[in-house]
Structure 1
Amino acid sequence: METQGLLATLVIASLAALLGGALAARLGQSVIIGYILAGVAIGPFTPGPVGDITTVQALADIGVIFLMFAIGVQLSLRNLLSAGRIAIAGASIQLVTTIGIGYWAALSLGWTPLEAIFLGAVIAISSSVVMTKVLAERAETDTTHGRIAIAWSTVQDLATVVLMIVLTALSAAGANVGGDLLWAAVKSAVFLGLVVPLGYIVLPRLFQQIAALRNREVFVLAIGAVALGTAFGATFFGLSVALGAFIAGIVVSESDLSHQILGEIAPLRDIFAGLFFVSVGMLANPLYVAENLALVLVGILLIVVVKGAISGLIIALARCPIRTAILGGILLGQSAEFSFLLARLGADLGAISSGSFSLMLTAAVVSIVLSPPLYGAFAGRLSRVDMRLPLSDAPRQAQPMPADPPRGHAVLCGYGRVGGVIGAALLRRGFRIFVIEENHAVVRRLRADGVPALLGNAANRVLLDQTNLKDARLLIVAIPDPLAARQVVDHARAVNARLDIVVRTHTGEQAAFMRSRGVAETVMGETELALEMTRHALRRFGVSAAEAQAAIGRLRDRLSAGETVEER
């Protein structure tokens, strides 16, 4: 009978997760939201089929382990260090400030001090998954605000380790809070002191030896054993299994096999993590939420408005353009997977009531739902404001200009992964370029090398006019934002009708539109990938270099004309 009960609960939870996840994906939302709502539907507070919450939570603990292990594997400490002071110092200041404001707000609402600090922690974390999805849909992953926000979220993920240790210690603390926190810190330090060195020394060699066996089943079992074993070991030091698995993942992330490990663990993570988010939803009381909508609104404002504003202000104070600060703040104004984990931790420890948990959960879910439309609305409006109010994104102080206005030069809008390659090639041949770039460090480096460069948004008319477009030979628009690129082209055409323009595009529709505005050439990344891979395939089958080049030229012409090239 116990087996039947376990199986019945697993079936109910899995079907609910499937339906909720499918509905969320259909609506363009994160599947996590669908899983949580599915948990609400089968929870004890709503009518209909009810799953055994104890059983689901037991299975969900396995999901937490694999989820946290996978998140740890995905973290890149090298990328974090390369992000610089903005992400590391900025995120640290934002975390402390947001937790403090959340704590104060909760105390003002009559919550207990322990519930208040849990609320502050829950609202302080942002999701890199949500950010990446929003940025990828708009082809803005390589923008300055995108890179800052993702690196910022990585710092928050690492800070969650400290938060979990502190919150667990506070929940179990007696009269001597300081002593209990110190003892928790000592146990955590011992655990890290054992796991990290052993992990860096032993795990890479272990996985290399197992990979050499060329047996996928054994490799997957090894991954599971490491994740589960480290999580179990953490419990002997008074730490949560989630924290142990996360540390194991971070250690493994520096291995040469980290990508293979992540790929193999992904199916297990997806199945059991779905059950974890279902279990989170089962703990929520929708009736309590309905009776306290004003408190939910307070939570949403704390996450979206207050946290977003704090993040944006910090980015602005780091001398980033205003547009970068605003968009970075909007990206960070939502909640993360770690938010649900911290809320669930508080519920499991008895630190927060069912009602408080429900309010935290609802506010976090709504913030995730609001993030994509808010970002889309502000990104478009900010680009239009830049054109109407030219100084809106101008630097705070006068920017150094060449003694003589350049002539016959190339104006390069964007100096990231695309523009940087173009600029370096032109400079090597001795051609003059004038750069507009949003990344302050890049602009500083270019100026140090004697290259004229302006800091700010390329769609800004004031900045464009300072590049002497009327005497330029070429305009290269390498920025990823399609609306900003359109505005650059329109203003450049108004200034110099004969200017040769080449634009980076992301879709066939964008390319056709740009050509209709008089752009000489549009370059779409997917098209160039297809053509180069076609060239390689033709050469591999014995086609001569001249014939392959001719075939590529014909394909390029047909694609530029908007034709489809698939053979029927």
Structure 2
Amino acid sequence: MGESILLVNLVIALLAGLVGAIIAVRLGQSIILGFIVAGIFIGPFTPGIKGDLAIVEALAEIGIILLLFAIGVQFSLSDLLRAGRVAVLGSTTQVLLTLGLGYGIGILLGWGSLEALFFGAVLSNSSSTVLSKVLGERGEMDSPHGKLALAWSTVQDLGTIILIVVLSALATESDTLLLDLAIEVGLAGLFLLLLVPIGLKLLPWLFERVEGLRNREVFVLMVAVVALGLAYSASFFGLSLALGAFVVGVVVSESDLSHQILADVLPLRDIFAGLFFVSVGMLVVPMFVLRNWPLLLLAIVLMMLVKGSISALIAWLLGTPTRTAVLTGVIIAQCAEFSFLLAQVGSDLGVVSPSVFSLMLGASAASIVLLPALYQGALPVAGFFHARRPAFAHDAADPDPVDDSALLRNHAVVCGYGRVGAVIGTVLRHRFAFLVIEEDVRVVTQLREQDIPVIRGSAAIPAVLERAHLDRARVLVVALPDPVVTRQVVDGARRMNPRLRIIVRTHSETERQWLLRRGVDTVVLGEWELALEMGLHALRGFGVSALEAETIVQRLRGKPDLESIGDSMTMTARSVRTSPTAETSAAQKLEDKSASAADDELVTRRLHNGVRLVRTPRSANDRRDHPGPDQPGGAAGTGA
């Protein structure tokens, strides 16, 4: 009978979680929110079908272990070091400030010290899952604020593990608190010391032997045994299962098979972590939340507006450009999985009451729902501070002079010198004069060491663009990942020089259309160009000649909306076989060579030195000549 009760509760929890997840996805919300709402509906404080909380929580403990194990496998010390000073110092400062703020508010509300500390800990954390979803849907994961927010959240995750250890020790209420805390830290160190040789020597050897069996089921079972078994072994050292799972994951991450291990554990993690979030929802007292909506509103304001403002201010004080600082603060103004875990730990330890627990979860869930709207509303605010208040921004132009004698006529201006901008600079450097506009002080320093003229500042600020002398420039290349800043640069540049040739990168077809309407000459849609290049190689793999494959690609280049591609390919194939084009005539002159040699010559011409410049032109009726600055009636030339 016990087995049937276990099965019934498992089915109830999974079914409720499935329904909640489907509804959340259909509404464009985080799946975590769906799990929590599902838990509320089957919880003991809501009428209707009820699950056994004790049984669901027991199953959910597996989810906690797998969740922390997966986070540990994904954790990378090198990534943490690459996060840089702003992310490490900024995130640490923000966590401490919001922890103290939450504690102070809790004490004012009459809560116990530990309960107030847990409230502050919940407030201090942010979810990388939620911010990745919001930024990913907008194509801004590679933007400056996207990279900083993700690094910021990574540091927070590490801080959460430390908070769990410290708060758990504080909850013991021992007279020898510092000694107990030191013992717990020492035991964690001993566990790690014993685990390191196992993780670096024994586990890789075992995983390689099991992987050599070429049986995925055995490998998945091995991963589950390692994750659950070693996490459980942490309890012999007085550590929590969650902390043990994280440490095991960090050690396993050093294995060459860590990516395969992560891929195999994720399906298990998703199922059992879903049970964990359902169990969290079952603990919520919905009537308390409804009756105490002013407290809920206060928690939401603290969690979103106050924490977001603190984070933005810290990032700005650490030298981050104003717009990046504002958007970083906004995107991390939410709480999710680790906040729920902290609240659950407090509840399990008996220091967080059901009412405060419900308040924490209600505010966290609301932050997930409200974040997209808050972020959308913050965009014009960030743009205002960025473009209209340069006196208060770190992104104003630096005072260092630019060598005008080398650049100030017929030159190119490259906005942004990241991966894309650096390649463009390499293409231009040996034949044409160019100047770079860049915000990152490290990149600026490197460019000056290479004797490349550079202006430090944001190209979205008119004063910075003016220093680049666009009125006498020939080409402007905007290689910035942020679409909003790109629009500001395009508008400012076009006002300064209506005949300037402008080349822009984008990741969105909607953005491409907007840029073309604003008079941009060339818009490169990154994913589309990548797809075309891969398609060309796929055609070559079927024996299609280089000429025919290139002609097909060229016809498709102006159709990133995927319309009429089939007709275009049919027409292209027919025209290539029947029309005596200049290129076919050239190819016919190579008849003495083998067909493959002729194809290789065409490919070599197109891919000389690994560089290929492509563009999406505006319609023929909207094209115009671009005379050089020395020609009558012109201030900018056609570009190279």
**Both structures adopt the same fold (TM-score exceeding 0.5):** yes
In structure 2, the CA distance between the partners of 1:98 and 1:151, relative to structure 1 (3 Å rule), is same
* Counterparts of 1:503 and 1:462, CA distance in 2: 20
Gaps of 5+ in 1: none
Return the offset for 1:566.
4.1
TM-superposition CA deviations, 1:395-421 (whole Å, max 9, x none) = 467431313262222212222232232
Residue 236 of structure 1 aligns to a residue whose secondary structure is: helix
Aligned residue type for 2:345:
L
Q: After superposing the two structures, state which structure 1 stretch, 252-261 or 53-62, moved more.
A: 252-261
Contact 1:35 1:278 in 2 (8 A): yes
Name the counterpart of 1:503.
504
Name the counterpart of 2:152.
152
Name the counterpart of 1:540.
541
Aligned residue type for 2:400:
P
In structure 2, the CA distance between the partners of 1:385 and 1:351, relative to structure 1 (3 Å rule), is closer
Contact 2:540 2:549 in 1 (8 A): yes
Residue 237 of structure 2 aligns to a residue whose secondary structure is: coil
Name the counterpart of 1:317.
317
Aligned residue type for 2:20:
G
Name the counterpart of 1:411.
413
TM-score normalised to structure 2 length: 0.85
In structure 2, the CA distance between the partners of 1:501 and 1:190, relative to structure 1 (3 Å rule), is same
* Counterparts of 2:147 and 2:385, CA distance in 1: 23
TM-score normalised to structure 1 length: 0.95
Q: After superposing the two structures, state which structure 1 stretch, 431-440 or 548-557, moved more.
A: 431-440
In structure 2, the CA distance between the partners of 1:212 and 1:558, relative to structure 1 (3 Å rule), is same
Say which one has the larger Rg: 2
Aligned residue type for 1:470:
D
* Counterparts of 2:435 and 2:127, CA distance in 1: 36
Matched, 1:31 2:10: no
Name the counterpart of 1:202.
202
Contact 2:300 2:364 in 1 (8 A): yes
Name the counterpart of 1:122.
122
Contact 1:72 1:249 in 2 (8 A): yes
Aligned residue type for 1:68:
L
Aligned residue type for 1:311:
S
* Counterparts of 1:231 and 1:548, CA distance in 2: 55
Residue 59 of structure 1 aligns to a residue whose secondary structure is: helix
Name the counterpart of 1:375.
375
Name the counterpart of 1:135.
135
Indicate the structure whose relative CO is greater, using CA pairs within 8 Å and at least 6 residues apart: 1
- Matching of residues 84-123 of structure 1 within 5 Å: 84-123=84-123
Residue 503 of structure 2 aligns to a residue whose secondary structure is: strand
Return the offset for 1:387.
4.8
Contact 2:440 2:456 in 1 (8 A): yes
Return the offset for 1:17.
0.5
* Counterparts of 2:18 and 2:172, CA distance in 1: 36
Name the counterpart of 1:64.
64
Contact 2:402 2:455 in 1 (8 A): no
Contact 1:383 1:459 in 2 (8 A): no
Matched, 1:264 2:282: no
Contact 2:396 2:458 in 1 (8 A): no
* Counterparts of 2:399 and 2:259, CA distance in 1: 43
Name the counterpart of 1:17.
17
Residue 172 of structure 1 aligns to a residue whose secondary structure is: coil
Return the offset for 1:117.
1.1
Residue 61 of structure 2 aligns to a residue whose secondary structure is: helix
Contact 2:220 2:264 in 1 (8 A): yes
- Matching of residues 199-348 of structure 1 within 5 Å: 199-348=199-348
* Counterparts of 1:13 and 1:82, CA distance in 2: 40
* Counterparts of 1:301 and 1:414, CA distance in 2: 36
Return the offset for 1:423.
2.2
TM-superposition CA deviations, 1:486-512 (whole Å, max 9, x none) = 222222122112211111122223222
In structure 2, the CA distance between the partners of 1:507 and 1:144, relative to structure 1 (3 Å rule), is closer
* Counterparts of 2:76 and 2:315, CA distance in 1: 22
Return the offset for 1:268.
0.7
Work out the percentage of aligned pairs sharing the same amino acid.
52
* Counterparts of 2:559 and 2:132, CA distance in 1: 33
Q: After superposing the two structures, state which structure 1 stretch, 386-395 or 412-421, moved more.
A: 386-395
Name the counterpart of 1:421.
423
Equivalences, count:
566
